[in-house]
């Protein structure tokens, strides 16, 4: 048999292996339909739990292109996988559910066909096709999370976001007039749920959350391992902000020399890639005390910054909590969340393991 014919036979075999069932892609959706967050269970000890919020996919202008961007991220996860099994949890709403479902099926199909048919480097592509990760998918209703924390969310909104902002606004970052277009979307419920993930997912122990505008270049099991390396008190693993959207604010608070601030040089955080130890979030008394109603307002007042407008919702709350209690956080290496904004005040100079594209769905 000529080499070309042999290649052709191999490709046919791969495809019949992958598509031997009706549609193997449907098998990833272990629980069809939307479920409540408190119903979500681990699908196996070897699986990592990854949550992505995908709501308002139909609202034009708010998140244009989110499905396309999400598809790119999903394929990048498959392509960089070395086989770590993934349980993907989509936090979504009724209107978005079917579109997100289709986007996942399409991404799996595209990945499999691209991988099988790519003619260059056939050996490695064949190897990749066979290490497509064990992959399951569950859909969670956003409202099943927010209904239990309505009071807390409503308390946070006016103090950690520009609740009255109706149009995107421009914020000057530094003396060179570098600007960030700050979206008016940060007053949405979905930007206030992260502090409560411990209680929202009572049957999960660990969770990695990803923005939809990422390009993943490393097996996410490697990142998930960080949770096992964290100390007893480190509940949340998160990278520093590289854009510098709140750089002036950091300098301002630093200048106040508040005695309870335990971080030497203040910096912001970015919630694009975050690891949560949910079990520790449920059991750590200090943390639990701080996610009670009235505590969100109290924390901001303690800094004597009631007159300062905070803009980035839960991300800014995490930042204030970090400055006071740094032992609750582990700082993730910048290579796991390289923020690709055009203007970066604190650029990461490493090759990205995750590139945070900050495209049109995410302006800051
Ligand atoms: Mn983002």
pLDDT in tens, 243-293: 998 999 999 999 999 999 999 999 999 999 999 999 999 999 999 999 999
Answer with the residue of higher pLDDT: 141 or 114: 141
Please count the structural domains in the chain. 2
Show the tokens assigned to 105.
Answer: 């099926």
Distance 312 CA to ligand 1 centre (A): 12
Distance 257 CA to ligand 1 centre (A): 32
Show the tokens assigned to 271.
Answer: 């919630």
Domain range for 163 is 148-356
pLDDT band of residue 65 (cuts 50, 70, 90) is: confident
Whether 170 and 115 have beta carbons less than 8 Å apart is answered as no
Distance 360 CA to ligand 1 centre (A): 9
Q: Could you write out the three-class secondary structure of 45-85?
A: CCCEEEEEEECCCCCCCCCCCHHHHHHHHHHHHHHHCCCCC
Asked if 233 and 334 sit in the same domain, the reply is yes
Asked if 220 and 153 sit in the same domain, the reply is yes
pLDDT at 94 (0 to 100): 93
Distance 167 CA to ligand 1 centre (A): 19
Question: Is 40 part of a structural domain of the chain?
Answer: yes
DSSP 310-336: P-STHHHHHHHHHHH-GGGEEEEPGGG
Per DSSP, the three-state class of 160 is: helix
Helix or strand (DSSP H, E) at 102 = helix 94-117
Cα separation, 361 vs 315, in Å, equals 17
Asked if 209 and 345 sit in the same domain, the reply is yes
Cα separation, 337 vs 273, in Å, equals 6
Question: Is 364 part of a structural domain of the chain?
Answer: no
Whether 142 and 92 have beta carbons less than 8 Å apart is answered as yes
Asked if 195 and 285 sit in the same domain, the reply is yes
Q: Which pTM value belongs to this model? A: 0.86
Last residue of a domain, one of 141, 175, 196: 141
Asked if 104 and 233 sit in the same domain, the reply is no
Asked if 197 and 123 sit in the same domain, the reply is no
Distance 292 CA to ligand 1 centre (A): 27
Torsion angle of the four alpha carbons 253, 254, 260, 264, in this order, in degrees rounded to the nearest 10: 140
Question: Is 363 part of a structural domain of the chain?
Answer: no
Which residues, 6 or more positions from 253, have their beta carbon under 8 angstroms from its beta carbon? 261, 266, 303, 305, 323
Asked if 164 and 278 sit in the same domain, the reply is yes
* Mean local confidence (pLDDT), 166-183: 49
* Mean local confidence (pLDDT), 315-344: 94
Distance 210 CA to ligand 1 centre (A): 8
- Region class of 42: left (phi > 0), else alpha (psi between -120 and 50), else beta: beta
The per-residue pLDDT for range 213-244, each reduced to its tens digit, is 999 999 999 999 999 999 999 999 999 999 99
Cα separation, 354 vs 364, in Å, equals 17
Asked if 34 and 178 sit in the same domain, the reply is no
Asked if 197 and 294 sit in the same domain, the reply is yes
Question: Is 57 part of a structural domain of the chain?
Answer: yes
Question: Is 362 part of a structural domain of the chain?
Answer: no
Show the tokens assigned to 97.
Answer: 């559910």
Distance 273 CA to ligand 1 centre (A): 9
Last residue of a domain, one of 141, 165, 188: 141
pLDDT at 7 (0 to 100): 46
- Percent residues over pLDDT 90 in the chain: 67
Question: Is 253 part of a structural domain of the chain?
Answer: yes
Distance 123 CA to ligand 1 centre (A): 35
Query: Which candidate, 61, 77, 68, 51, places its Cα nearest to that of 355?
Result: 77
pLDDT at 311 (0 to 100): 86
Asked if 246 and 328 sit in the same domain, the reply is yes
Distance 41 CA to ligand 1 centre (A): 26
pLDDT at 305 (0 to 100): 95
Question: Is 7 part of a structural domain of the chain?
Answer: yes
- Region class of 211: left (phi > 0), else alpha (psi between -120 and 50), else beta: beta
Average pLDDT, whole number, for the chain?
85
Instruction: Please check the confidence at residue 68 and state whether its pLDDT lies above 60.
Output: yes
The per-residue pLDDT for range 6-47, each reduced to its tens digit, is 444 444 444 434 444 456 677 777 767 899 999 999 999 999
Cα separation, 147 vs 345, in Å, equals 38
Show the tokens assigned to 251.
Answer: 């300098």
Distance 87 CA to ligand 1 centre (A): 21
Last residue of a domain, one of 120, 141, 162: 141
Asked if 154 and 17 sit in the same domain, the reply is no
Asked if 52 and 164 sit in the same domain, the reply is no
The per-residue pLDDT for range 97-118, each reduced to its tens digit, is 999 999 999 999 888 887 766 5
Distance 195 CA to ligand 1 centre (A): 18
Q: What b/e string do you get for 173-195 counting C-beta neighbours within 10 Å, with b at 16 or more?
A: beeeebebebbbbbbbbbbbbbb
Q: Where are the beta strands (DSSP E) in 236-356?
A: 236-240, 269-277, 329-332, 338-339, 354-356
Distance 271 CA to ligand 1 centre (A): 8
Distance 127 CA to ligand 1 centre (A): 32
Query: Which candidate, 329, 341, 220, 228, places its Cα nearest to that of 269?
Result: 329
Query: Which candidate, 136, 269, 273, places its Cα nearest to that of 217?
Result: 273
pLDDT at 175 (0 to 100): 47
């Amino acid at each position: 048999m000529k080499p070309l014919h042999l290649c052709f036979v191999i490709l046919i075999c791969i495809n019949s292996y992958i598509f031997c069932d009706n549609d193997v892609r449907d098998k990833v959706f272990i629980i069809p339909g939307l479920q409540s967050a408190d119903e979500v269970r681990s699908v196996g000890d070897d699986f990592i739990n990854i949550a992505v919020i995908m709501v308002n996919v139909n609202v034009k202008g708010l998140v244009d292109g989110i499905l396309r961007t999400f598809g790119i991220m999903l394929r990048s996860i498959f392509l960089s996988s070395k086989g770590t099994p993934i349980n993907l949890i989509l936090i979504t709403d009724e209107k978005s559910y079917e579109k997100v479902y289709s986007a996942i099926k399409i991404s799996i199909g595209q990945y499999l066909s691209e991988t099988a048919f790519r003619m260059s480097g056939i050996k490695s592509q064949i190897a990749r096709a066979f290490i497509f990760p064990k992959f399951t998918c569950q859909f969670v209703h956003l409202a099943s999370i927010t209904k239990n924390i309505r009071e807390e969310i409503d308390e946070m909104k006016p103090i950690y976001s520009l609740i009255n902002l109706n149009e995107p606004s421009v914020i000057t970052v530094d003396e060179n007039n570098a600007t960030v277009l700050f979206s008016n979307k940060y007053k949405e419920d979905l930007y206030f749920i992260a502090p409560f993930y411990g209680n929202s997912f009572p049957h999960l122990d660990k969770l990695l959350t990803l923005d939809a505008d990422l390009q993943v270049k490393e097996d996410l099991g490697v990142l998930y391992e960080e949770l096992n390396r964290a100390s007893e008190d480190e509940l949340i693993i998160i990278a520093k902000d590289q854009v510098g959207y709140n750089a002036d604010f950091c300098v301002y608070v630093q200048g106040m020399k508040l005695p309870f601030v335990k971080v030497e040089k203040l910096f912001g955080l970015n919630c694009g890639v975050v690891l949560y130890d949910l079990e520790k979030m449920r059991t750590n008394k200090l943390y639990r005390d701080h996610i009670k109603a009235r505590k969100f307002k109290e924390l901001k007042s303690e800094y004597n910054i009631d007159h300062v407008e905070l803009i980035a919702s839960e991300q800014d709350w995490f930042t204030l909590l970090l400055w006071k209690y740094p032992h609750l956080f582990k700082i993730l290496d910048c290579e796991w969340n390289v923020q690709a904004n055009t203007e970066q005040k604190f650029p990461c100079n490493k090759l990205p393991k995750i590139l945070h594209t900050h495209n049109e769905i995410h302006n800051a």
